[in-house]
Amino acid sequence: MSSERRAAATDAAYATHLTHRAALETSRAMHSSDRKATEMDALRRHHRFLRDERERPDSSYEAQVARKYYDSLYKEFAIANLKHYRTRGIALRWRTEDEVVDGIGQFTCANQRCEWHAEPTIRTKLETYEVPFAYEEPGEEGTPVRKQALVKRITCVAPHLIPL
């Protein structure tokens, strides 16, 4: 096979590859909206940090999944992500069963990014704080609803966060 024929065959193979790749990308784009919704998608849409016991129950499957997950959480202490605390961005979540069993957030620092968040080898002084937490959740008809709660946190860095 001459070098010209080999080059032409390589060019044709590469052109075929590009055609198939473009068809694959088009197919993926068309079918990305057809993706089946998972239970995690339902949790993202229907999860609430606090639920009112008086709220009327939603009978949709997604709302029931979110409610069941909420009921399985332990709401005595909160776990926090203080990555953006300087800009007043603090994320809180309730502890899971595994975290309760391991004592995380109760006998260790509740800040996810703290070196004392996992079981510490050397005990550090931990302080318990009950802090007000205000946030917005989507309400009925998509209008935001402002909620507020007192949340208990155990942390080793809180004295550094509170201005004196």
CA distance 135 to 155: 21
Query: Could you tell me if 128 and 145 lie in one domain?
Result: yes
| Tally of structural domains, the chain | 3
Query: Could you tell me if 9 and 84 lie in one domain?
Result: no
Query: Could you tell me if 27 and 43 lie in one domain?
Result: no
Query: Could you tell me if 88 and 54 lie in one domain?
Result: no
Query: Could you tell me if 96 and 123 lie in one domain?
Result: yes
Query: Could you tell me if 121 and 149 lie in one domain?
Result: yes
Q: What is the pLDDT of residue 9?
A: 67
Q: Residues for the chain: how many in total? A: 164
Q: What is the pLDDT of residue 148?
A: 87
Query: Could you tell me if 68 and 140 lie in one domain?
Result: no
Q: Which residues pair with 129 in a beta bridge?
A: 153
Q: What is the pLDDT of residue 164?
A: 39
CA distance 157 to 90: 14
Give percent helix, percent strand, percent coil of the chain, each to the nearest 5: 40, 25, 30
Query: Could you tell me if 107 and 48 lie in one domain?
Result: no
Query: Could you tell me if 101 and 138 lie in one domain?
Result: yes
**Overall pTM > 0.85:** no
Q: Which residues of the chain are under the pLDDT cut of 50?
A: 121, 162-164
Residue 22: other Cβ atoms inside 10 A? 10
Contacts of 140 (CB under 8 A, 6+ apart): none
Query: Could you tell me if 13 and 30 lie in one domain?
Result: yes
CA distance 146 to 107: 31
CA distance 38 to 57: 21
Q: Which residue segment(s) compose the domain that 26 sits in?
A: 3-34
Residue 64, class by beta-carbon neighbours within 10 Å (0-12 exposed, 13-18 middle, 19+ buried)?
middle
